[in-house]
Amino acid sequence: MTTGLATPLPCIALAGPTASGKSAASLAIAERWPVEIISVDSALVYRGMDIGTAKPSLAERARAPHHLIDIRDPAQAYSAAEFVADTRRLIGEIRARGRAPLLVGGTMLYFKALMDGLDDMPRADAQVRVALEARARSEGWPALHAELARIDPVTAARLAPADAQRIQRALEVHAVTGQPISAFHRTQRPHDNPIGAGALISLEPTDRAWLHERIAQRFDAMLAEGFIDEVRRLRARGDLHADLPSMRCVGYRQIWEALDEAGHAPLSPRQAQQMRDRGVFATRQLAKRQITWLRSMPQRVALPCDAPDALARVLEQVGRLMER
């Protein structure tokens, strides 16, 4: 007996480190199949942060529906739990329209939360956060990272000493609950995973130097497009500060710090070069962490983003999934 209901189109994920070609591949997919793109990027949620996030242009967004872009003001926070709730809702809505959800991005914490589920994490505590931010200003985030290594070595081992947002959250959870944040990540619920077998496509470089060069080229292109002026406009609002999650985004943090150092004067050539080098280095470190996260996901289908036929391989894998 048949119900007459069509099998829903698959939920496909396209992940990878920054500058690996995810956005171009997602638009190529959208030209061939009926998909709607869900951004898996913790920076693209912020309005007014366009250049430094490599946000898809309005013309690109007109080529395919995009979701979870420009949904928050930079003064607001957006959590992994909110991402999971929004994404699960969107997956249902997109499938109800007879289209396939295509999750695209590089925020691995969001992918992990969606695929493995979320534990009952404590809510943010404003007083604890203010105290931690004050300590960070006087002691530096590497000192707080060292403290985290003593109380939660598992979490500290996967965080960079300057990863302010996650170090703060880990210390906050410990201060509020007395337990390490890693204790809240032990329960996995794979049956909640909306991304089926073979549907997590991971763009990964075989030659790290190839990715490093693309990162440097893209950062230079952002600077040429007016990235520094974009950060100046955000600073001029008066309600943003360097400890907000939005302003901790790679690139934004380094430019903010350079503008702090320069004061009211224009950036000197030395300051501009140092800022550029710090931004490129921080972006490369981000890519390294993203690749490490991806390699811990055995269910992924890894494809070489630096191969001449990288796009063809992605389209071939998507085609297999769409024809199931």
pLDDT digits (tens, 9 = 90+) for 52-104: 999 999 999 999 999 999 999 999 989 898 999 999 999 999 999 999 999 99
pLDDT of 156 strictly over 80? yes
Q: Element (H or E) spanning 262, and its range?
A: helix 252-262
Give yes or no for a contact between 287 and 211, defined as CB atoms under 8 angstroms apart.
yes
Give yes or no for a contact between 33 and 100, defined as CB atoms under 8 angstroms apart.
yes
* Dist CA 321 CA 9 (whole Å): 9
pTM above 0.85, yes or no: no
In three-state secondary structure terms, 268 is coil
Which amino acid is located at 3 in the chain?
A: T
Only one residue has tokens 């956060």, namely: 129
Tens of pLDDT, residues 265-289: 999 999 999 999 999 999 999 999 9
pLDDT of 187 strictly over 80? no
Q: Element (H or E) spanning 200, and its range?
A: strand 200-204
Instruction: For helices 269-295 and 108-116, give the axis angle rounded to 10 degrees.
Output: 20
Cα 110–chain centre separation = 7
Which amino acid is located at 73 in the chain?
A: D
pLDDT of 37 strictly over 60? yes
Higher pLDDT, 27 or 130: 27
Q: Element (H or E) spanning 287, and its range?
A: helix 269-295
Only one residue has tokens 């920054």, namely: 18
